[in-house]
Chain A
Amino acid sequence: DAGVIQSPRHEVTEMGQEVTLRCKPISGHDYLFWYRQTMMRGLELLIYFNNNVPIDDSGMPEDRFSAKMPNASFSTLKIQPSEPRDSAVYFCASRQGAGSDTQYFGPGTRLTVL
Chain B
Amino acid sequence: SQQGEEDPQALSIQEGENATMNCSYKTSINNLQWYRQNSGRGLVHLILIRSNEREKHSGRLRVTLDTSKKSSSLLITASRAADTASYFCATDARSNDYKLSFGAGTTVTVRA
- A residues with CB within 8 A of B: 4, 31, 42-43, 45, 48, 50, 55-56, 91, 93, 95, 101-108
Contact = CB atoms under 8 A, between A and B. Distances in A.
B18 interface: no
Interface of B: 2, 30-31, 33, 35, 41-45, 48, 88, 92, 98-105
A105 B104 contact: no
A45 B100 contact: yes
Contacts of B42: 4, 91, 93, 105-108
Per CB-CB distance, the 8 closest pairs between chain A and chain B, nearest first, are A105-B42, A43-B102, A105-B43, A102-B45, A42-B104, A107-B42, A108-B42, A106-B42
Contacts of B92: 101
Contacts of B2: 42-43
A106 B44 CA distance: 9
Contacts of B103: 42
Nearest to A30: B98
17 contacts: A31-B98, A42-B104, A43-B2, A43-B43, A43-B102, A45-B99, A45-B101, A48-B98, A93-B42, A93-B43, A101-B31, A102-B33, A102-B48, A103-B43, A103-B100, A104-B45, A105-B42
Contacts of A4: 42
Nearest to A104: B45
Residue from B43, B88, B102, B105 whose CB has the most chain A CB atoms within 10 Å: B43
A12 to B, nearest CB: 16
Contacts of A43: 2, 43, 88, 102
